[in-house]
Structure 1
Amino acid sequence: MDAFADKVCDLWQPGDIVMVHDYALMLLPQMLRTRLPHIHLTFSLHASCPSHIPPGTNMRLLSKVLQGAFGSDLLTFQAFMHSNQFLGWCAQEAPAWTPHQDFLLGRVADSCFVHPMAIDASRVLSVAWSEDVSQICDSLKSAFEDKKIIVSYTTASFNEETVYVAQAFNRLETLFPRWRGKVVLLQITSLPWLYRDEGASGSDETLVQILAAQNSRKKLFKQQLLETEHYALLRASDATIFPFAPEALIKAGLDFMLCQRGGNKRPVISEASPLRFQLPRVILFPRGDIDGIARALDRALGFSFECPRCHNQPGARDCPECSGRPPMTPHRVLEPLMIPTVEEWVGSITARLVDRVLQCRFANPVP
């Protein structure tokens, strides 16, 4: 934290707005406020706050971390539940803090707002629908042309989640025989492409070659993905599951929604994922529930149907192509998804900050 604080202090100029992100830097706002009392500062927590204190928690360190966020003018959260949980933790610790500092829970609550994360939607769309991505996407569909494609997107550090999904894939064919022999699971346990070390040497084989060469219904890819491969997987999949894991998988979930032009596919996510509060059209599963994951995948595969003639457009109920579709494939179009852009997110935060600063100045006018 000292290193981050040193760098910010070197770069900061009066009037600058500093935005601090997520729990790993939760101590930084208070440190910056101590060094630069007049700094304009926001802190955004993109993870959830536990609703209870786990056994064995060091309360002294926890208290210090929580207080670190108080140095910011604004605190933003992914969902109202997360904001309430954070305030609940603060209220529990307030009696211990009061003798040492001027702590008012109401003042902290007034600084808390809900602003779900945003992505650069225009760039995602331009890359995801580029010719290079389309070629990889076509190759994936060609390699598994007679099967539905399920993509499981997690990271190598979450082996437990990978095992759960693999077991659920087996249960899918047991619980729902109609999918037996008609689905393939692509388990991507890779660092997200944006963490890729461009200087690192990789295999000359492509994603499609590696997956197609494996003689199994469950195929595993552990190498680092290219950006084009990342978007091709999201476009080609009939069902995509994002088990709870960090390292940009929230962004991957938002990417998935932008990669579905037909709007008829739904991502499968863990109930513990913050994405559930941002994406209204998700299919949830209980973490660690094998049968629950299998049922969620069945629902997602059902939603993946897209008529080649009418493309599931409203008013096309009598389409002759759709008349012979299996009853498990719902024929309805989902509402367009509105994902805030980075510019909109920053603009909203900045407007809130200006209002907050002005309120403080009017409440405490300078003589």
Structure 2
Amino acid sequence: MNQKFANRILEIYKPGDIVMIHDYHLLLLPSMLRQRVPHMYIAFFLHIPFPSSEFLRCLPRRRDVLGGVLGANLIGFQSYSYSRHFVSCCTRILGFPSDTSGVEAYGVKVTVGVFPIGIDAAAVEKLAFDGEVIDNQVTELRKIYEGKKIIVGRDRLDSVRGVAQKLMAFERFLEMYPEWVDKAVLIQVTSPTSAEEEKEDSGNKIANKVAELVAKINGLYGSLSFSPVQHYPQYLSQEEYLALLRAADIGLITSVRDGMNTTSLEYVVCQRDDHGPLIISEFSGTAGILKDAIHINPWDLSGVAQSINYALTMSEDNKSAMHTSLYHHVTTRNVQTWINSLVKRLLAVLGSHNAAISTPLLDKAALLTRYRAANKRLFMFDYDGTLTPIVTDPAAAIPGERLLRTLKALASDPRNAVWIISGRDQEFLSQHLGQIPELGFSAEHGSFMRHPRARDWENLAETFDMGWQKEVFDCFQKYTERTPGSFIERKRCALTWHYRPSDPVLGAHMARECQKELEKTVGKTWDVEVMTGKANLEVRPTFINKGEIAKRLVASYGQETGQPPEFTLCLGDDFTDEDMFRALNSSALAPDHVFTVTVGASSKMTLAHWHLLEPSDVISSLALLNGGDSDVADLGALAVVEGKIPDQMPGVTIPDEVPGGKL
């Protein structure tokens, strides 16, 4: 079904159009459109609750669902709790960085917002008060139930609307407050279920349960002349429905899980003159915007009963004050306000993306031209996140055959000096890359060096006192015990605490606490720095960093050849690599001879002059210099589109501005 929608949209789509997608039936559609048209403007709004990660992770295709929605530029929810669940799921299930404003996915920031939906209050009010038919029906209802307080509920007959809870709470109310027997009536309208819901409840268990409760209550508290529960399992005409809301003394909403509840909003409008109190479940998506209503937990039957009694005995002044606030909100935050805020936010998101200072995509034409013109070339590569993808287990980040083949070809050229400058230790680099003797290595962020074709490592931190390591290890050990899945990596000149295998939210929180503690202790008593990496913390001597290695290589290379490098390519992806970019940017090398490239989104803060999106693009770029990879042989900017999802198709070029496209 989603693919059919995608095909139809693409038949009529024009560049600049805004595509708005609604509800759970089309969760996969945003990514399908993004694959076909990478720069389409897409907003998605979910009208139902979004589950927590504990529930969503039960779905076999949970990653497909999340990835599908993340194809949008803007994702809207009815309440903050639903948006929080979505963001948490993206972090816990997909491993994407996130905050309250959105999710970093596929190289771009997908914005997440809360947009409480409204109703066309003016239209509802006009229908409810501008006709004699409804006036007569209101009069008739009040005549039928003269001397009695009318409590009204209208719900679909499914498991989340809380009809059974409402009936049980009303029974508890009559039990706790017998003075209201024969003086209060619950009129409950239950709309028939859809064919889809009938499949879920083929045995009519919900309907049977409701019928049993109605019969029980009427049997206990009713008489031949009066039944305290009036149940209507049918559709009402619009006139009958609005008349019922006008005649009511209380509106009662007891949903156990709900998105937008229109009945509560329509009830407020229909009580314009009588100011009947509204009792609403705290689990309703509308509860968050109706702050002055009486909020209840539908599972707390006695609490609901007490709230019903409170509403029935409320003074006129209190009822008027409550209704004034609710009425103002419903009539000013209507459906038009909702759609305007959604579109305005989308345009703001698109505008900020276009206006943001971004790092340009690596121009491979300029890269290849400079490379071919140079006789002395210097390469400096980070490893994790640059040459190989970031993985949960650092030990699993071993180089693939294509990477090894590409590095071997590059390093075999006598005009090239190729260095791997990594936070990895000597053992890892020797084991996995040592079979290429032409490579040079710097391990532990510059603590050790091994020159090409050499066997021995040079210890650059040999004279430094490492007495701080025990204190840091003890601190890391404490946080390891508090953070299941985390572990300590002990190097000769540094200690690293990894929390990628842990719960991402817990790990990030513990990392912040650990960093604060270390900066207050060893950070003040020793000449060390606490570095934050990708799901890790590392403590190392302050004089050791990749920038110092970059300076050393540029200087030594110039001394050996009698001239500085004519081509320098430096690639990295995280904070520690910024030291290399800084060193090269401030060096005496000709600016047009130096290519500093960060791996990641163009929007991230960096000192690099260029960017590539992911490690596979790095390998393709290096293979291009070797004369391989015909699939990237064209000389335009590297064919990587931010915001793409895996296996996406080529798309169109994004316009310079957000045009006045159609919605």
* Common fold: TM-score over 0.5: yes
Q: Aligned pair in 2 of structure 1 residues 22, 278: CA closer, same or farther (>3 Å)?
A: farther
Superposition deviation, residue 361 in structure 1: 1.7
Q: Distance in 2 between matches of 1:246 and 1:155?
A: 12
Superposition deviation, residue 237 in structure 1: 0.9
Is the contact made by 1:156 and 1:189 (CA closer than 8 Å) also made in structure 2? yes
Superposition deviation, residue 36 in structure 1: 2.8
Q: Distance in 1 between matches of 2:160 and 2:96?
A: 39
The one-letter code sitting in structure 2 at the alignment partner of 1:128 is A
Q: Aligned pair in 2 of structure 1 residues 302, 43: CA closer, same or farther (>3 Å)?
A: farther
Is the contact made by 1:266 and 1:281 (CA closer than 8 Å) also made in structure 2? no
Superposition deviation, residue 46 in structure 1: 2.8
Is the contact made by 2:152 and 2:188 (CA closer than 8 Å) also made in structure 1? yes
Superposition deviation, residue 341 in structure 1: 2.2
Superposition deviation, residue 247 in structure 1: 9.0
The one-letter code sitting in structure 1 at the alignment partner of 2:309 is D
* Match in the other structure for 1:116: 116
The one-letter code sitting in structure 1 at the alignment partner of 2:37 is L
Q: Aligned pair in 2 of structure 1 residues 3, 338: CA closer, same or farther (>3 Å)?
A: same
Equivalent in 292, 296, 309 of residue 285 of structure 1: 296
* Match in the other structure for 2:149: 148
The one-letter code sitting in structure 2 at the alignment partner of 1:218 is V
Is the contact made by 2:155 and 2:189 (CA closer than 8 Å) also made in structure 1? yes
Q: Distance in 2 between matches of 1:248 and 1:73?
A: 22
Q: Distance in 2 between matches of 1:48 and 1:271?
A: 13
* Match in the other structure for 1:242: 253
Is the contact made by 1:153 and 1:240 (CA closer than 8 Å) also made in structure 2? no
Equivalent in 273, 292, 307 of residue 284 of structure 2: 273
* Match in the other structure for 2:329: 338
Q: Aligned pair in 2 of structure 1 residues 241, 50: CA closer, same or farther (>3 Å)?
A: same
* Match in the other structure for 1:316: none
The one-letter code sitting in structure 2 at the alignment partner of 1:111 is T
* Match in the other structure for 1:353: 346
Q: Aligned pair in 2 of structure 1 residues 138, 78: CA closer, same or farther (>3 Å)?
A: same
Tell me the SS of whatever aligns to 1:287.
coil
The one-letter code sitting in structure 1 at the alignment partner of 2:354 is R
The one-letter code sitting in structure 2 at the alignment partner of 1:63 is R
The one-letter code sitting in structure 1 at the alignment partner of 2:321 is V
Superposition deviation, residue 65 in structure 1: 0.8
Tell me the SS of whatever aligns to 1:233.
helix
Between 13-22 and 69-78, the greater mean CA deviation after superposition: 13-22
Residues 167-192 of structure 1: CA deviation (Å, up to 9, x unaligned):
22222122123322210111111259
* Match in the other structure for 1:63: 63
Superposition deviation, residue 255 in structure 1: 1.0
Q: Mind listing any 5+ residue stretches in structure 2 that lack a counterpart?
A: 98-102, 194-223, 361-654, 657-663
* Match in the other structure for 1:75: 75
Is the contact made by 1:46 and 1:274 (CA closer than 8 Å) also made in structure 2? no
* Match in the other structure for 1:227: 238
Is the contact made by 1:94 and 1:105 (CA closer than 8 Å) also made in structure 2? no
Q: Distance in 1 between matches of 2:161 and 2:57?
A: 23
Q: Aligned pair in 2 of structure 1 residues 175, 215: CA closer, same or farther (>3 Å)?
A: closer
The one-letter code sitting in structure 1 at the alignment partner of 2:95 is P
* Match in the other structure for 1:197: none
Normalising by structure 1, we get a TM-score of 0.77
Q: Distance in 2 between matches of 1:6 and 1:136?
A: 48
* Match in the other structure for 1:210: none
The one-letter code sitting in structure 2 at the alignment partner of 1:295 is Q
Q: Aligned pair in 2 of structure 1 residues 25, 178: CA closer, same or farther (>3 Å)?
A: same
Superposition deviation, residue 52 in structure 1: 4.4
Q: Aligned pair in 2 of structure 1 residues 147, 188: CA closer, same or farther (>3 Å)?
A: same
Which structure is larger by alpha-carbon Rg, 1 or 2? 2
Superposition deviation, residue 164 in structure 1: 2.4
Q: Report the aligned-residue RMSD.
A: 3.1
- Is the counterpart of residue 138 in structure 1 residue 139 in structure 2? yes
Q: Distance in 2 between matches of 1:109 and 1:80?
A: 18
Q: Distance in 2 between matches of 1:232 and 1:110?
A: 44
Superposition deviation, residue 14 in structure 1: 2.9
The one-letter code sitting in structure 1 at the alignment partner of 2:345 is R
Q: Distance in 2 between matches of 1:191 and 1:107?
A: 46
Q: Distance in 2 between matches of 1:243 and 1:137?
A: 24
Q: Distance in 1 between matches of 2:110 and 2:165?
A: 41
Q: Aligned pair in 2 of structure 1 residues 86, 246: CA closer, same or farther (>3 Å)?
A: closer
Equivalent in 307, 329, 345 of residue 296 of structure 1: 307
* Match in the other structure for 1:320: none
Superposition deviation, residue 110 in structure 1: 5.9
Tell me the SS of whatever aligns to 2:251.
strand
* Match in the other structure for 1:177: 178
Q: Mind listing any 5+ residue stretches in structure 1 that lack a counterpart?
A: 98-102, 193-212, 307-311, 313-329
